[in-house]
Amino acid sequence: MTEQTQHYDDMFAGLLEEIWGEGYLSPGGPKEVARVLSGLDLTGLRVLDIGCGTGAITLSLVRDHGAGHAVGIDVEGHVCIEARARAAGAGVADQIEIVQVKPGPFPFEDETFDLVFSKDSIIHIADKEALAQDIHRVLRPGGWFAASDWLTSHDGAMSPAMTRYIELEGLGFAMASPARYASALQAAGFGAVDTISRNAWYLDTARDELQMLAGPRRAELAGKYGVGLVAENIAVWQAMIAVLETGELCPHHLRGQKL
């Protein structure tokens, strides 16, 4: 994972949770987690959650999807502390392990997990090929990689609109195309590789989110999180919607099976 400064401080994370639900730092909440996992049975499995954030997703993998044990990893220490507290509060601390990691290969032995999951966090990892190889390494034979992520429609130079959006986000995004993800997974040894666009879904959702930020709740949110932070995120959403409309920003579901 990419080394970075603390991006998701308490105020920013709190605002995102107002938009996306408690413990969620990316869109769709538990329903989107379920869609990413559609058709996969996690009952009793050992699961790795890449980019666990404050732990709501790791908790959902155990509580809602029946994983026997889930390991959540993140590079930011303060969110790992929150994730551990969330697991303890839900009474499943014996089934959830939260590990703060450094950038680079995962600190796990080969063939450790039955499923590797990630929700909108591998955008921070620039080397998609090395990532795919490491995911393949830690999976047991027959295991699955299932993720959602923020992609761009093409590799190479981005449009001015996309460049502006990424600059406004300021979150160390390292985007790649569906073709590059598919190629990286196949080269690592995955079969049943699939990439599914979620652009239409998130375009509609993002418009609703912008209306929430800029509409009747704006004063309330500004009172809780600051006028400046809310204004900054309204600008982010406006820029994001512009590139969702052109399709250059195209969130996807990603999947592959270790043969």
35-67: per-residue pLDDT in tens?
999 999 999 999 999 999 999 999 999 999 999
CATH match of 10-149+172-199+250-258 with 3.40.190.10: no
Please give the model's pTM, rounded to 2 decimal places: 0.93
Q: How far is it, in rounded angstroms, from Cα 211 to Cα 51?
A: 28
List strands edge to edge, sheet with 69-74. 96-100, 69-74, 46-50, 113-119, 139-149, 252-258, 190-197
pLDDT of residue 111: 98
Domain ranges in the chain?
Answer: 10-149+172-199+250-258
Report the pLDDT value the prediction gives residue 25, as an integer from 0 to 100: 87
pLDDT at 235: 98
- Express each pLDDT in 66-106 by its tens digit: 999 999 999 999 899 999 999 999 999 999 999 999 988 99
Residues 144-184: pLDDT tens digits? 999 999 999 999 999 999 999 999 998 888 999 999 999 99
Task: Provide the pLDDT for residue 6.
Answer: 54
Strands 69-74 and 96-100, sheet pairing: parallel
pLDDT at 5 over 90: no
